[in-house]
Amino acid sequence: MFRLKRLCLFSALLMITLIAAGCESNNSLSSTQADDSSANAQTKTGSTASSGKEPVELLISAAASLTESLDELKTIYEADHSNVKLTYNFGASGTLQQQIEQGAPADVFLSAGTKQMNSLLKEGYIAPDLTKNFLTNELVLIVPQNGSVQIDSLEDLNDSQVGNIAIGTPESVPAGKYAEQTLTFYKLWDGLAPKLVQTKDVKQVLSYVETGNADAGFVYKTDAASSKGVKIVLSTDPESHDAIEYPAGVIKDSKHPEEAKAFYDFLLSDKAQQVFEKYGFTPAN
């Protein structure tokens, strides 16, 4: 009888021990699952959660001649602003102006001419206190790197050996307008009209000359510097055309006004200006 009681007692203690161990295992599993869920939630939110800011996509309408410098600045800016993604819309300044007037979404406008910015400002599309000239440039005449035609002056464009001359469409491309002003200044515009091939922007001018589809072309110094397929034969006289100024402006009805202003301020900073200088631009006074 005594042995039977001891056996019963031992069995009861064993059962209690097993039940306790099971509970502890379940609690441990629940805790692990909770930790995993928390880790997964943090992974999903990523850097946005750590910064406490919602992700923002800024739409930047910018002159085509700014392509290389802005691409480099995109990497720099997004590294310092983890919640901001910069999306560029490059094109001729006049075309970008028309897009904004027609309701195309944009947060910041970067023009290669003051005419386009002033028009948008007058029409109420640009915040009056958030627009400023931030860069200047030079207009140059280029020829193919391995071209056979010798051009030393603007007058040489009249030579019969010179075929097509590429320029941006003056009505929409500021560089084309400056080229028109220069040729008019030297009384060459009318005589050269049959040779002129008008393009959608300066990048297309550059492409035409690089590929030999044009014997010469007018682009910005910064465009020529980005290409190994062309060479500069001369810089135009600044007195022969309007000042080449690049204004920046924040769209008045931007969906992200704070972030747009922050990027606008960044473009005016020494850090950004150093990058622009690297590509041949000159900071505006």
pLDDT-derived band at 204 (thresholds 50, 70, 90) equals very high
Segments making up each domain of the chain, as ranges: 56-137+244-283, 139-240
What CATH number does domain 56-137+244-283 carry, 4.10.520.10, 3.30.530.20, 3.40.190.10, 1.25.40.10?
A: 3.40.190.10
Amino acid, single-letter form, for residue 187: K
Q: What is the pLDDT of residues 28-80, one digit of tens each?
A: 434 444 444 444 434 444 444 445 678 999 999 999 999 999 999 999 999 99
What DSSP character marks residue 227?
A: -
What is the CATH superfamily name and number for domain 139-240?
A: Periplasmic binding protein-like II (3.40.190.10)
Q: Which of 208, 250, 223, 221 is nearest to 106 (CA)?
A: 250
Q: Write down the pTM of the prediction.
A: 0.79
Decide if 56-137+244-283 and 139-240 have a common fold: yes
Angle at 272 between CA 266 and CA 277, to 5 degrees: 150
pLDDT tens figures, 71-106: 999 999 999 999 999 999 999 999 999 999 999 999
